[in-house]
Amino acid sequence: MAKLLHLSCSPRAESVSTAGARVFLDGFRQARPDWDIDVVDIWRERMPEFTGPIIEAKYARMKAQGFTDAQRDSFAEAERMALRFALADRVLISTPMWNFGLPYKLKQWFDIIVQPGLTFRFDPSRGYLPLLKDRPTLVIIASGSDFATGMNRGRTDMATPYLREILRFIGISNVRFVLVGPTTGPQAPIDAACERAHQRLAAMATAF
């Protein structure tokens, strides 16, 4: 069965990014009722802390060394998470922007799966090479400021370029972004921003 993986990155059930994802997924299910939707809630998933045996395993792989038992068990967690991602035919990431960047749990998720020999490899003559196949990916980012139209109050969006580059690094270049903002301030601009984003997401869902 074909699969869409939804990486859900807000700890709030009624967040703006989650609401946008819900609109998109409602349309996607109607267009592709035979697809499986695999939801990865990064606030509820078991993710190892990137310390101890798992980071030792990363450096062991970089040096082409064997694993200890503890390193092997710890690296198996990274393999489990990366495989779940790799098996998806489509990817949806919905996330808030925190302090101009990513929620720390989303960064932790990437730190765990971006591993040598797992999602990328290094060739001395060619440099870093991705190991994942490209697939259509949609990223929904909700932010307090309006980064979609440039009314960002002088602030810098560091989430979008990071996500674009880290996904490209492991092989995913077919990425589209939908920015939803502002989500703070007077209610009328917030409602208008959400309505614009929801219309766009509903349209995108039919052909994703």
CATH code: domain of residue 23: 3.40.50.360
* Confidence label for 153 from pLDDT (cuts 50, 70 and 90): low
Any idea which residue has 């697809």 for tokens? 35
List all residues 6 or more positions away from 1 whose beta carbon is below 8 Å from its beta carbon.
34, 35, 36
Whether 44 and 131 have beta carbons less than 8 Å apart is answered as: no
**Between the CA atoms of 41, 44, 45 and 49, what dihedral angle is there, to the nearest 10 degrees?**
120
* Confidence label for 145 from pLDDT (cuts 50, 70 and 90): confident
Can you tell me the mean pLDDT for 44-58? 90
Its pTM stands at 0.95
Instruction: Provide the domain limits for residue 90.
Output: 3-205
What's the sign of the alpha-carbon dihedral 143, 149, 151, 152?
positive
* Confidence label for 151 from pLDDT (cuts 50, 70 and 90): low
- Distance, first Cα to last Cα, the chain: 16
Say if residue 129's pLDDT is above 90: yes
Domain count, the chain: 1
